[in-house]
Amino acid sequence: MALEVEMYLPSANDSLIQPWLDRLAELGMRCEFHPDFSFSSQNGHLPIRLRNLKPTRDEFKDRDFLSGFEFYLAKFNISEMLFKKPVKPSGLGRLFGKKQAAAPHRVSGEVDAILEKCNWHLTFRFSPADVFELRLADISSIVISELTNGIRYLPSDGEWMVNQNFAPVALASIEDFERSLEVGGYQSHLFEGWR
């Protein structure tokens, strides 16, 4: 089962790579992207070398792991989004002449204001089968949204998340999840070099 997190960004180019890696390191994850990675050409699985600087389990200490997630970048224009359906008045509202409300927003006033500045739609697709995919995809999506003043969308929850310096809170939740896993109840892959 694959999960997704989406970001809507004003800009998306290779100038984000080093700040993205730096922010992950500040959060305790020393990462390296596959040497061929570029925002302009990446489509599909993005391999990432990860070392947890604050490991949640003994078996994660002083080891480099290979993980990653699927990475899809596309142009975006808010004018291509559909408006929410207008709200029809209830029976009493119709009785008293209330008109059907026009759909003033695509999502909401706050979200639409951010989306109007966005030119890119970035999707990370990941699987919970690899213990580090959730960590890398979720925290990376938050970091990229922070760096670009973009916005995150969680399709599974229908939830829009405005940049709120949320990375430490999300990371703490992920770390609790990793600690709760039974030995042998997850998969990980040691880094043995780029393929």
Asked if pLDDT for residue 138 goes beyond 90, the answer is yes
Confidence band (pLDDT; 50, 70, 90) for 186?
confident
Higher pLDDT, 47 or 56: 47
Does some domain include residue 66? yes
Q: Among the listed ranges 34-43, 98-107, 155-164, which one has the minimum average pLDDT value?
A: 98-107
Does some domain include residue 70? yes
pLDDT on residue 94: 47
Residue 162 phi, psi (nearest 5): -80, 145
| pTM of the entire predicted model | 0.85
Does some domain include residue 46? yes
Does some domain include residue 147? yes
The total domain count for the chain is 1
Asked if pLDDT for residue 101 goes beyond 80, the answer is no
Reading the block at residue 89, the tokens are: 């008045």
Distance CA 150, CA 119 (A): 10
Higher pLDDT, 166 or 171: 171
Give the dihedral sign, CA 164/11/25/38. positive
Higher pLDDT, 35 or 195: 35
- Which structural domain range is residue 139 located in? 3-76+118-180
Does some domain include residue 110? no
Does some domain include residue 30? yes
pLDDT on residue 172: 92
Does some domain include residue 83? no
Residue 155 phi, psi (nearest 5): -60, -35
pLDDT on residue 102: 46
Does some domain include residue 108? no
